[in-house]
Structure 1
């Protein structure tokens, strides 16, 4: 049975797959490439049981199994603890956020959110939006785009979800996402940055992915790296 055709029924099985493939999209992202959505029974999603992959997604991050965020093509993916240093070496900037802002490489909104997240690790989206002065309806798109920018640059990760509660402590409405910086997540999970050149890291990534996916999918992955 190949990774693509394997069926996942438990959290432990999902952890095994993430460790094996290194990069696992939440929903199908490439042809001939595994995803959590494609490997789990549809009826288990949002079932609020131990078999619910929607619950697993933040547990992976909380347990230090994988970094979680919209890192690729604005889509949610999991990057295993072991593969993350290679991806950071290949894709992440080595310069500070402030330096990149001065060079015009990141937006003012992204800098604002990154600063707030750095000062409030694990901050709830609702609180972050309020602190950033973006609570108005017309600013939601700008806020969401800045969050996507930071995730796409591997600057921040999803740290979990927080339930919205009423004054009695009862669940009231949708849960919201919370964020922390990539550096903070790496530090608390004892992930060390590799002293590798971008080209060397990219070559190692290509060798890894070529072992279990098609040539057509590899062409798409190479465009990312």
Structure 2
């Protein structure tokens, strides 16, 4: 478990506070040591199947509100897995990660996706996929691979989730991620702090050692690679 003993998360407000407190928090189980929103959540907020075949997952539904209320970044930032990063720690995380993943080559599919998103400001995953002409059999999986790579490179973030509604105006389903660029969400300065990538990595390393037990260089490389 993280060095500090944390109370269970029972509400959206508590999850928002935990993101602000820890700065970097995976949504789902990642290391198996308690460092995730899922593992910190109480039994009442976990995924549950219902007798009618449906499902209920309060913590899943909170993600959009946490992003909006905290102003954090959300996306697949660690080992291709979803993670919250607070506004405080985003500049250093982005600075170091972009050092490792330079801008996509001009004219590449990654570049085309990124340029389309920049031109539109923000789009849901399905809107961006259609705008980039990723249609047809097996194209959704291929598109998701490109977007995940752009998120890992801190070129794309999720700013909210959009849900379809039924005839009773009730939201349902898993929702669609509303994608944007970090510059659009946070501004250019927040993505390029006045520090070298190495200085940003050291700041991140000190912070991660403070919140995680046994955080050696191997674990740091796994988180920050």
- State the TM-score, normalizing by the size of structure 1: 0.82
Query: Where does residue 34 of structure 1 map in the other structure?
Result: 35
SS in 2 for 1:155: coil
Map 1:134-153 → 2, pairs under 5 A: 134-153=134-153
Query: Where does residue 220 of structure 1 map in the other structure?
Result: 219
Map 1:1-225 → 2, pairs under 5 A: 3=4, 5-45=6-46, 52-93=58-99, 97=103, 100-102=104-106, 108-165=108-165, 175-187=175-187, 191=190, 193-216=192-215, 219-225=218-224
Distance (whole Å) between structure 1 residues aligned to residue 62 and residue 168 of structure 2 = 27
Q: How far off its partner does 1:68 sit? A: 0.4
SS in 1 for 2:113: helix
Distance (whole Å) between structure 1 residues aligned to residue 76 and residue 100 of structure 2 = 20
Q: How far off its partner does 1:139 sit? A: 1.4
**Shift in CA distance, 58/169, structure 1 to aligned 2, threshold 3 Å:** closer
Aligned pairs, number: 215
Q: How far off its partner does 1:208 sit? A: 1.0
Q: How far off its partner does 1:65 sit? A: 3.2
SS in 1 for 2:138: helix
RMSD over aligned CA atoms reads 3.0
Residue-by-residue CA offset, 1:182-213 (whole Å, 9 max, x unaligned): 1111129x846311111111111111111121
**Shift in CA distance, 70/33, structure 1 to aligned 2, threshold 3 Å:** same
SS in 2 for 1:211: helix
**Shift in CA distance, 192/173, structure 1 to aligned 2, threshold 3 Å:** closer
- State the TM-score, normalizing by the size of structure 2: 0.82
SS in 2 for 1:27: coil
